[in-house]
Amino acid sequence: MAILCFDYGHGGEDPGSVYKGRKEKADNLEIGKLVASEVRRHGITVDETRTSDKTVSLKARSDFEKKKKYDFFISFHRNAFEPEKARGVETYTYLKGSPKAKSLARKIQKSLVDVVFVDRGVKTANFHVLRETRSPATLIEIGFIDNTLDNEIFVKKKEKIVKAITIAILEELNIKYKEENEGKEDLLYRVIAGAFKDKENAQKRVKALKSAGFDAYIKVEK
């Protein structure tokens, strides 16, 4: 089964971009961990460069990735420019990114554009975590944190964002996405509220339960 390395940008003493009290480091951690949970639900192993609000240097992140052989390295970020001047999602690979990295980046980009983010395209960059990692690596900029409309999308469509990124990753790994309750039978859990030898006592219990708003009836057993 596949093994992935998730990197949640910034953290601890490094808040990343900040706008109206909103901190990039928190958004990166939150959305990344939600995606990790969904991916793990499909049997995939996910290692994380950080799991809490702590400072992790760029070197520590790339060193962490080099400890194992990963199918993909995915770094989660949010963008910033000038307040309310830019919008949209963009996904990066290294300047000499592998075909696998580019394929994943395209899938993630399309999936997030479908959520209703403005399409800023798949790009290349000389970012440390793309350059110094060994796995096919992508970096996602999930909207601009200094844009009110992008923040509304990030908050109101969070579940769709998580699902979109998850599906893109699974498609690249040739794994079919499954809804959380898919394949599970509808179960009913019956509550037993006593057993009586005297019918009158049983009727009193049923009456009391119905008065309390519970659906109750008598079942005779030998």
pLDDT, average across residues 53-69:
98
Q: What is the mean pLDDT of residues 32-59?
A: 98
CATH topology for 3-172?
Aminopeptidase (3.40.630)
Q: Which amino acid is at 37?
A: S
Return d(Cα 1, Cα 76) in angstroms, integer.
22
Convert the pLDDT of each residue in 145-190 to its tens digit. Answer: 999 999 999 999 999 999 999 999 999 999 999 998 766 566 667 7
> Which of residues 191 and 218 earns the better pLDDT score?
218
Domain boundaries, the chain: 3-172, 188-222
Please state, in angstroms and rounded to a whole number, the distance separating the CA atoms of residues 195 and 193. Answer: 7
Q: Report yes or no on whether pTM surpasses 0.85.
A: no
How buried is 158 (Cβ within 10 angstroms: 0-12 exposed, 13-18 middle, 19+ buried)?
middle
